């Protein structure tokens, strides 16, 4: 059998997600070599390179791209830098796997998508829940028409006290926002994928920062309330041009019963379905079908497998840059509505 070409991978950003997801995933693939890592904080890059026996580390990612000439690049930095570093990697001729969210705003996400297209390169985002078997089964059922028209969807990821205590997730300037752009984005992405990206008419939203600025400790560590500059919850309503609607709730901190709960619930004229866990509902007696299964691979790993297989031409990308742009437009509109207190109309 013909040996597959070795794909040379480099990573920009040597923090938590690079260490726990990207490196183990690349390492578990045959014929993928991690050739270098970089980080604005050189010590972080050095530590990561030493811990995983990676041959080169850099502080300057431009230099790394020039000297190492990787085939693929993972972008694992705060949201503010997704755009410039993705553009740089695409201009260096690399396929890019960028962490989610795509960018800080739709203009950036659009340029990233357009440049990838122009350069004939792949660009995907780590919306890893897309790769779950629950999502695949749900998508098949919806596309087959088992639910009928899905006219109401609820996307939700809320935590009682789950403000990340590391990185810059509470810093608006670095991340572009709080739970909406961080965790709500995942559920919005899933919901829109399952609905096949309906055209958006308008959105309304309200956001709050009542807890992040007063509390300091939760299930994801301690944060500094004096430097808390993002929303801690946001609630939105999305109306599509065909009349269907979606509700969104997302929170790092909210006084609710559960510590951490997420779901996408889809209600159709024939039946309803929820993703976490995957269940379907139907009829007056509420017959309930659950789908027990074991995920055979961690989802970030599945996302990176899909990326590498797409680079080899063996699969299509599941999360495309065009879809990333759609989700970014929605996030932006929800933030604009929350800020202005007015509905935001979306025009094509
Ligand atoms: N897909 C997911 O579910 C998921 C989960 C966690 C994090 N993330 C995303 O991953 C990204 C990184 O998060 P993290 O948890 O690893 O954060 P982190 O703070 O642990 O790591 C980020 C690293 O980037 C480095 N960095 C900052 N600016 C840089 C620049 N301009 N150039 C090079 N390096 C730079 C920092 O020094 C740090 O080491 C964020 O965009 C976050 O939203 C996604």
pLDDT tens per residue, range 163-206: 999 889 999 999 999 999 999 999 999 999 999 999 999 999 99
Instruction: Pick the closest to residue 103 from 114, 92, 93 (CA basis).
Output: 114
Instruction: Pick the closest to residue 311 from 14, 37, 74, 35 (CA basis).
Output: 74
Average pLDDT over the chain reads 95
The answer on pLDDT for 290 being more than 80 is no
Residue 286: what pLDDT? Answer: 63
Residue 2: what pLDDT? Answer: 64
pLDDT tens per residue, range 204-218: 999 999 999 998 899
The answer to whether the CB of 167 is under 6 A from ligand 1 is: yes
Q: How far is the CA of 37 from the centre of ligand 1 (A)?
A: 13
Q: How far is the CA of 223 from the centre of ligand 1 (A)?
A: 17
The answer to whether the CB of 102 is under 6 A from ligand 1 is: no
Listing from the earlier edge strand, what are the strands of the sheet with 57-58?
A: 57-58, 32-38, 7-12, 72-75, 95-98, 123-125
Q: How far is the CA of 343 from the centre of ligand 1 (A)?
A: 32
Percent with pLDDT over 90 in the chain: 91
The answer on pLDDT for 289 being more than 80 is no
Residue 216: what pLDDT? Answer: 86
pLDDT tens per residue, range 24-38: 999 999 999 999 999
The residue among 338 and 167 whose pLDDT is bigger is 338
Confidence tier at 121 by pLDDT (50, 70, 90): very high
The answer to whether the CB of 89 is under 6 A from ligand 1 is: no
pLDDT tens per residue, range 128-154: 999 999 999 999 999 999 999 999 999
Residue 285: what pLDDT? Answer: 63
Residue 294: what pLDDT? Answer: 65
The answer to whether the CB of 86 is under 6 A from ligand 1 is: no
Residue 71: what pLDDT? Answer: 98
* Strand-pair partners of 251: 158, 233
- CB contact at 8 A, 184 and 100: no
The answer to whether the CB of 65 is under 6 A from ligand 1 is: no
Measured by CA distance, the residue closest to atom 6 of ligand 1 is 17
The answer to whether the CB of 77 is under 6 A from ligand 1 is: yes
pLDDT tens per residue, range 231-258: 999 999 999 999 999 999 999 999 999 9
The answer to whether the CB of 74 is under 6 A from ligand 1 is: no
Average pLDDT over residues 72-80: 98
Distance from C-alpha of 13 to C-alpha of 33, rounded to nearest angstrom:
17
Confidence tier at 282 by pLDDT (50, 70, 90): confident
* CA count, 13 A, side-chain hemisphere, 99: 24
- Give the count of beta carbons closer than 10 Å to the beta carbon of residue 89: 28
Residue 348: what pLDDT? Answer: 60
Of 83-92, 157-166, 186-195, 213-222, give the lowest mean pLDDT range. Answer: 213-222
Percent with pLDDT over 70 in the chain: 96
Q: Which long-range CB contacts under 8 A does 134-141 form with residues at least 24 apart?
A: 134/275, 134/276, 134/277, 134/278, 134/291, 134/293, 135/190, 135/193, 135/194, 135/275, 137/278, 137/291, 138/194, 138/266, 138/273, 138/275, 138/278, 139/193, 139/194, 141/273, 141/280
Q: How far is the CA of 207 from the centre of ligand 1 (A)?
A: 24
Confidence tier at 343 by pLDDT (50, 70, 90): very high
The answer to whether the CB of 124 is under 6 A from ligand 1 is: no
- Give the count of beta carbons closer than 10 Å to the beta carbon of residue 99: 23
Rounded (10°) angle between helices 82-91 and 106-119:
10
Measured by CA distance, the residue closest to atom 29 of ligand 1 is 40
Average pLDDT over residues 271-297: 78
Average pLDDT over residues 305-332: 98
Measured by CA distance, the residue closest to atom 37 of ligand 1 is 41
Distance from C-alpha of 234 to C-alpha of 144, rounded to nearest angstrom:
33
Q: How far is the CA of 79 from the centre of ligand 1 (A)?
A: 7
The answer to whether the CB of 100 is under 6 A from ligand 1 is: yes
- Domains with residue ranges and CATH for the chain: 7-129+300-319 (3.40.50.720), 132-296+327-345 (3.30.360.10)
Distance from C-alpha of 71 to C-alpha of 6, rounded to nearest angstrom:
9
């Amino acid at each position: 059998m013909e040996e597959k070409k070795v794909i040379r991978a480099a990573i920009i950003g040597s923090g938590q997600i690079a260490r726990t997801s990207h490196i183990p995933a690349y390492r578990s693939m045959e014929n993928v070599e991690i050739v270098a890592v970089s980080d604005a904080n050189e010590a972080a890059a050095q530590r990561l390179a030493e811990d995983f026996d990676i041959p080169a580390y850099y502080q300057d990612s431009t230099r790394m791209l020039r000297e190492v000439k990787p085939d693929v690049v993972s972008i694992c930095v705060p949201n503010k830098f997704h755009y410039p570093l993705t553009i740089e990697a695409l201009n260096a001729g690399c396929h890019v796997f960028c962490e989610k969210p795509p960018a800080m705003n739709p203009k950036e996400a659009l340029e990233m998508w357009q440049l990838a297209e122009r350069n004939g390169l792949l660009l995907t985002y780590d919306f890893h829940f897309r790769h779950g078997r629950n999502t695949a089964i749900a998508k098949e059922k919806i596309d087959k028409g088992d639910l009928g028209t899905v006219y109401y969807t609820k996307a939700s990821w809320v935590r009682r006290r789950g403000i990340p205590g590391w990185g810059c997730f509470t810093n608006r300037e670095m991340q572009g926002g709080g739970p909406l752009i961080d965790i709500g984005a995942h559920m919005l992405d899933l919901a829109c994928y399952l609905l096949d990206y309906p055209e958006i008419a308008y959105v309304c939203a309200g956001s709050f920062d009542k807890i992040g600025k007063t509390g300091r400790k939760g299930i994801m560590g301690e944060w500094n309330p004096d430097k808390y500059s993002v929303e801690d919850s946001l609630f939105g309503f999305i109306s599509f041009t065909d009349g269907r609607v979606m509700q969104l709730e997302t929170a790092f901190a909210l006084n609710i019963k559960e510590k951490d709960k997420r779901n996408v619930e889809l209600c159709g004229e024939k039946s309803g379905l929820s993703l976490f866990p995957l269940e379907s509902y139907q009829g007056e007696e509420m017959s309930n079908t659950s789908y027990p299964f074991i995920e055979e691979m961690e989802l970030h790993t599945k996302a990176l497998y899909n990326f590498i297989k797409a680079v080899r031409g063996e699969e299509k990308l599941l999360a495309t840059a065009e879809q990333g742009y759609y989700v970014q437009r929605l996030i932006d509109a929800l933030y604009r509505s929350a800020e202005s207190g007015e509905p935001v109309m979306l025009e094509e």
